[in-house]
């Protein structure tokens, strides 16, 4: 009888406003990281998460660490604002007590280097403001869907978004989000936000993300929604973005997005992996 032993893969689980991620060192897993990600992110047969932030050393002298995001379905993504903040929380927890600890960490992502500035250290819960870079806002775009036309604003925050303003959230907004997300217009898919403008300082959002589906929150989605609300005259900076998982603050200054919010470390463990 052949006995196959399982590898023990260490992980850290963290959440930012209900958008949860597993943080794993890339060197720990040989082979197909996409397949591994699908297995470990399964909420019934794995640990469960919206994606894995794979961390590694960086050759970039201006960054402290490098990350690559793989969504729960195994697809690669350029960046997650919430995932990046979770990695920052892990980084500060690992460096606690060191004399060279600073108030910021520079994280290299596939959408460039993002600097997370620590504003509160609660031991396992941290607050950051992250410099998310520039936003690119497109013209109003109307898509033909099975249930009728939908008009929204394309916004790039390092990854693609389509922001649809609504008076109230449709009963089956998840189905509409899935249809928009896989629309032929978007060759590489798109993240979808349905946004209700409450007043000039507050918006409420629902999110349907590429590779993850409905999520409780999204950092880049919060940025895209806020920028779209500001440019369309529905809000002004700073904007409080209310998602089911919590509130984030977006400041948009001189074209740069600054995202403020929480990240909480949940647990550590080992995943038993048989390739």
Q: Is the pTM of this model over 0.85?
A: yes
pLDDT in tens, 28-49: 998 899 999 999 999 999 999 9
CATH class of 7-133+262-273: alpha beta
Q: H or E element: which one contains 236?
A: none
Same CATH fold assignment for domains 7-133+262-273 and 136-254? yes
DSSP letters, 13-55, are: EEEETTEEEEEEEGGG--S-HHHHHHHHH-TTTS---SEEEEE
Q: Where are the domains of the chain?
A: 7-133+262-273, 136-254
- Calculate what percentage of the chain has a pLDDT beyond 90: 91
* CATH code for the domain defined by 136-254: 3.10.310.10
**Chain mean pLDDT for the chain:** 95
Please name every residue paired with 272 in a beta bridge, in sequence order, or none if there are none: 8
């Amino acid at each position: 009888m052949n006995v196959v032993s399982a590898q023990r893969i260490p992980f850290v689980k963290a959440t930012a406003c209900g958008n949860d991620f597993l943080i794993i060192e890339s060197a720990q897993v040989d082979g197909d990281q996409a397949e591994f990600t699908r297995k470990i992110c399964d909420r019934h047969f794995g640990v469960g998460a919206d994606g894995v932030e794979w961390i590694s050393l960086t050759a970039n002298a201006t960054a402290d660490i490098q990350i690559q995001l793989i969504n729960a379905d195994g697809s690669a993504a350029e960046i997650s604002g919430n995932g990046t903040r979770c990695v920052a929380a892990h980084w500060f927890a690992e460096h606690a007590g060191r004399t060279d600890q600073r108030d910021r960490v520079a994280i290299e992502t596939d959408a460039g280097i993002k600097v997370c500035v620590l504003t509160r250290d609660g031991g396992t819960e941290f607050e950051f403001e992250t410099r998310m870079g520039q936003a690119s806002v497109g013209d109003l775009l109307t898509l033909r869907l099975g249930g009728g036309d939908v008009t929204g604003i394309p916004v790039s925050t390092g990854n693609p978004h389509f922001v649809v303003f609504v008076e109230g959230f449709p009963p089956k907004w998840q189905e509409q989000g899935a249809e928009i997300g896989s629309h032929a217009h978007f060759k590489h898919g798109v993240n979808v936000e349905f946004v209700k403008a409450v007043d000039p300082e507050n918006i409420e959002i629902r999110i349907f993300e590429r590779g993850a589906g409905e999520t409780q929150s999204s950092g880049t989605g919060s940025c895209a929604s806020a920028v779209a609300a500001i440019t369309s005259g529905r809000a002004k900076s700073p904007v409080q973005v209310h998602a089911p998982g919590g509130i984030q603050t977006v400041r948009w200054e001189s074209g740069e997005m600054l995202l403020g919010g929480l990240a909480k470390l949940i647990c550590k463990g080992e995943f038993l992996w048989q390739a």
